[in-house]
Homo-oligomer: A and B are copies of this chain.
Amino acid sequence: VLATLPAGALSYGEPAGHPVLREALAGLLARRRGVVAGADRVVVGQGVGHGLAVVAAWARRAGHTAIAVEDPGSTPIWELFNAHGLRPVPVPVDAGGLDPDRVAALTGVRLVMVTPAHQFPTGTVLAPDRRRALVAWADRVDGLVLEDDYDGDFRYDRAPVGALQALAPERVVYLGSASKSLAPALRLGWLVAPYALVGELAAQRRYHDLMSPVLDQLAFAELIRSGGYDRHLRLSLRTYRDRRETVRAVLAATRPDWTLSGIAAGLHVVAEVGENAPALVARAAAAGIRVPSLATYATTPAPGVPDALVLGYAHLRPAELTPALQALATV
């Protein structure tokens, strides 16, 4: 990038991101995730949290005061919404994900955030009829769906579930990042917005961080353009699938009484352990194993969903995973 960069590219640039990266991302997201993403819908950012902050700041200014969120869900993101003056309203998820009827029953809420590809943390996939119902609701109330595609790249046993955004590009803000696929410290993220919103979201950055560093943007664009990013994702998929297989095999051998779910995709599985999960969390901690329970992420126990363990495995090699899982099975 440095060898070919024109001097003019080192000046102040577009808050929405460098056109070369926006074009590369539009192609990548259309191809891999089915996102309806012309470059003119893309705003480059520095992570999904950053994208949500940009949308939240806009939403607050546009008069929104609350947002429906999945329960259990990502509590740091609830705090982020709170910090921007949007009250998170928890909506229980079940085996089909978030129930749009429960969102529609909320008074005065026209915003919802979902993780449709692999719900965090239950690992469920948002059911096709619920996807359609959710965007129909957004149309009806002039609302907006925020789609955090945090695990969309990591589906192991069949073709990935496409992005919800494709159903209604004018009702969904799609958000993604390279934090899971490359590294969080790179601060590479993106959103794809409705045409009615993209200019306002980019303008929002003018009064915050202005724009992302251009060298990082163009290096990432080159990684995408060269095919290196796709190769890296394929390699990561194989690596993480091997790790998931280790989880499945070790627990099948040691704890056949546990039930695993959310296993088709992502970087963690949920294990129903048939006993008091918090007590097991405490015993595991005493044995040097950090594993949260599902209830950690919930405001209220989900109906019909027993408490369980949330087992993150993607950062551990099989040789590290195996003894940790065996120790967990024992405690």
> At the interface, yes or no: A209 with Cβ under 8 Å from chain B?
yes
List, in ascending order, chain B residues with CB within 8 A of A186's CB. 10, 213-215
B209 near A50: Cβ-Cβ < 8 Å: yes
- List chain B residues, Cβ under 8 A from A79: 207
Minimum C-beta distance from A189 to chain B (A): 10
A83 touches B207 (CB 8 A): yes
Query: A11 and B209: CB pair below 8 A?
Result: no
Q: Is the CB of A208 within 8 A of B50?
A: yes
A82: nearest chain-B partner, CB-CB: B207
A residues 78-95 in Cβ contact with B at 8 Å: 79-80, 83-84
Interfacial chain B residues near A184, Cβ < 8 Å = 10-12
Q: Is the CB of B80 within 8 A of A207?
A: yes
> Smallest CB-CB separation from A8: which chain B residue?
B185
Task: Let me know if A49 and B80 touch, CB within 8 A.
Answer: no
Determine whether A255 belongs to the interface, using a CB cutoff of 8 Å to chain B: no
Counting contact residues on chain A (CB < 8 A from B), the size range is 20 to 34
Q: A185-B215, A216-B216 are in contact. Are A210 and B50 (CB under 8 A)?
A: yes
Q: Does A194 contact B (CB under 8 A)?
A: no
A119 lies within 8 A of chain B by Cβ: no
Q: Which of B53, B83, B183, B214 contacts A185 (CB 8 A)?
A: B214
Alpha-carbon distance A79/B49, docked complex (angstroms): 25
A46 within 8 A of B: yes
Q: Which residues of B contact A80 (CB under 8 A)?
A: 207
| A122 contacts chain B at the CB level, 8 A cutoff | no
Write out, one digit per residue, whether chain A residues 141-172 have a CB within 8 A of any chain B CB (1) or not (0). 00000000000000000000000000000000
Q: How far is the CB of A98 from chain B (nearest CB, A)?
A: 23
Residues of B within 8 A of A311 (CB): none
A201: B residues at CB distance < 8 A: none
Q: Which of A187-230 contact B (CB under 8 A)?
A: 187-188, 207-216
Q: Is A301 an interface residue (CB 8 A)?
A: no
The contact of A210 among B49, B212, B213, by CB within 8 Å, is: B49
Give a binary string over A5-24; 1 marks a CB under 8 Å from any B CB, 0 the rest: 00001111100000000000
Q: Contacts of A209 on B, CB cut-off 8 Å?
A: 45-47, 49-50, 53, 187, 208-209
CB neighbours (8 Å) of A83 from chain B are: 207
Across the interface, name the chain B residue whose C-beta is closest to A208: B53
Contact A183 B10 (CB under 8 A): yes
Q: Shortest CB–CB separation between residue A85 and chain B, in angstroms? A: 10
Please give, as numbers and ranges, the residues of chain B lying within 8 Å of A47 by CB-CB distance: 209-210
Question: A210, B46: Cβ atoms under 8 Å?
Answer: yes
Of the A-B pairs whose beta carbons lie under 8 Å apart in the complex, a sample of 21, sorted by A's number, is A10-B183, A10-B184, A11-B183, A11-B185, A12-B185, A13-B185, A45-B209, A46-B209, A47-B210, A49-B207, A50-B209, A50-B210, A79-B207, A84-B207, A185-B213, A185-B215, A186-B215, A187-B209, A187-B211, A187-B214, A213-B213
